[in-house]
Amino acid sequence: MHTETEAARQLTLKSAWAVDSGGSPNTKLASMAKEFASRVAVDAANECVQIHGGSGFVDDFDAERLYRDAKITQIYEGTTEIQKMIIARELQGKGF
């Protein structure tokens, strides 16, 4: 989980760096960062719930809240499916 989290962090930082260095926003890179980071967050939160078993679903326990918070990242600000479509369009436009 830590490896995937670090990979998501680096992809996000690369996307931010592309803008901060004076370039225009890189739509493909931003969509890749959002899709990947959202997936990693949900996978890590799901594993947390799994590790804690039944108590992972109790409202008083952080695992349940973390899972809800992670899952919503796949829905808000462009669903995962939309991010994948943006990435595919960007790749097709570049002749890949």
67, with CB counted inside 10 A (0-12, 13-18, 19+), is buried
6, 47, 77, 90: which is the annotated catalytic residue? 77
Task: Tell me, yes or no, if 77 is annotated catalytic.
Answer: yes
Q: Which residues contact 32 (CB under 8 A, 6 or more apart)?
A: 11, 15, 83, 87
Q: Which residues are catalytic?
A: 77
